[in-house]
Amino acid sequence: MLRFLIRRALGALVIIVLLIALTYFAFFSLPTDPARLACSKGCTPELLAQIRTNMHLNLPIYQQFWNYFSGLFVGQDFGTAGHCAAPCFGYSYNTQSFVWDRIVANYPATFVLAIGGAAIFLTVGVGLGMIAAWKQGKLADKAATAIGLVGQSTQIYFLGPLAMALFVVNLHWLPQPAYIPWTQDPWGCFTGMILPWTVMSVIFWSNYSRQVRSLMLEQLSEDHIRAARAKGMSNTYVWWRYALRGAMAPIITIFGLDLGAVFSGAIITEVTFGVHGLGYLAVIAVNQADLYLELGVLIFSSVSILLFNIIVDAAYGLLDPRVRIG
């Protein structure tokens, strides 16, 4: 198992390096002048020249890339803007700050949103799927499927404002959604995030409920379920210990991939609810054409997705003894 993980980690490392290079060159081969973009209103030729020097834009592109890449590990100097300590993802001129600091500042919101949302969509989705499988063909099955379908066909930017209008504006049950660090105010954090969590989870439900339903039905038709019943195990025991156990491994796989997605920033949810997370940061970066910021967020998200991929593989090995690899 450890060998497998190390091998996967090494592989991921290679992918990350390639990814950084590819993204970097893609961004900086755009027919725009990063210095001009960075030099906002009131730009003078002197200022532009200084930005150019600070951003090392006078150097050949491969050297620029080397600076950026090595900066990730040892930091980098940005002239008058100062020294950017490792891990240095560059300097955001629009906001006059280092990219890494911005990411660090915004990440907790994304993290909390992801954890809460994932917990809700996993429980609700799996729950709905289990009900549907248990009551196969009955009303409850159809209801669960319908709920899932509604979730799948709705949009966050529609459901979000609607929920806010209802629970925040009309009923006054909840405060305006916002991220408050839970270290400061756990209850405030919870009430501020409950709407984003729930609304974000809605779009994931249907996938889980459908998968769980079909996986459970598939498991229940397998021989080892019949064999377990033939040795006197009760239906509920067989249901939980045998069928759910078998359905779990594939579910964990999709769950891990979805986690990768939400942990790298749920753009629409964050913008809809004004939660200042990584997705929100990405939108700002794109809006302001802040290349280093975009690059930083992108690399950070990709690494996060890769990381969850490895975790999924490891979890799969733990869940299914047949794929435990030496």
- Give me the residues that bind another protein (CB under 8 A), please: 3, 6-7, 10, 222-224, 226-235, 242, 245-246, 319-322, 326
Query: Cis omega before residue 31 (within 30°)?
Result: no
3-class SS letters over 140-203: HHHHHHHHHHHHHHCCHHHHHHHHHHHHHHHCCCCCCCCCCCCCCCHHHHHHHHHHHHHHHHHH
For another protein, give the closer residue by CB, 6 or 162.
6
CB-nearer residue toward another protein: 172 or 322: 322
Cα 33 to chain centroid, rounded:
31
CB of 320 to another protein, least distance (A): 7
Which DSSP state fits 84? E
Residues 260, 262, 267, CA angle at the centre, nearest 5°?
130
Within 13 Å and on the Cβ side, how many CA atoms surround 287?
8
Question: Tokens for 209?
Answer: 């409920």
CB of residue 14 vs another protein: minimum separation in angstroms? 12
Contacts 24+ apart (CB under 8 A), 39-47: 39/93, 40/93, 40/94
In this complex, which beta carbon is closest to another protein, that of residue 36 or of residue 324?
A: 324
In the bound state with another protein, the residue whose beta carbon lies nearer, of 177 and 246, is 246
Tokens of 148: 């899932």
Q: How far is the CB of 276 from another protein (least distance, A)?
A: 41
Query: Whole-number minimum distance, CB 319 to another protein, in Å?
Result: 8
- 97: enclosing H helix or E strand: strand 97-98
Q: With respect to another protein, which residue has the nearer C-beta, 99 or 244?
A: 244
DSSP 92: E
State the minimum distance, in angstroms, from the CB of residue 225 to another protein: 8
Minimum CB separation of residue 260 from another protein in Å reads 24
Minimum CB separation from another protein for residue 255, in Å?
Answer: 18
3-state DSSP call for residue 59? Answer: coil
Residue in the structure block whose two tokens are 């501020």: 192
Question: 228 or 312: whose CB is closer to another protein?
Answer: 228
In whole angstroms, give the CA distance from residue 109 to residue 158.
22
Query: For another protein, which is the closer residue by CB, 46 or 223?
Result: 223
Element (H, E) at 77: strand 76-77
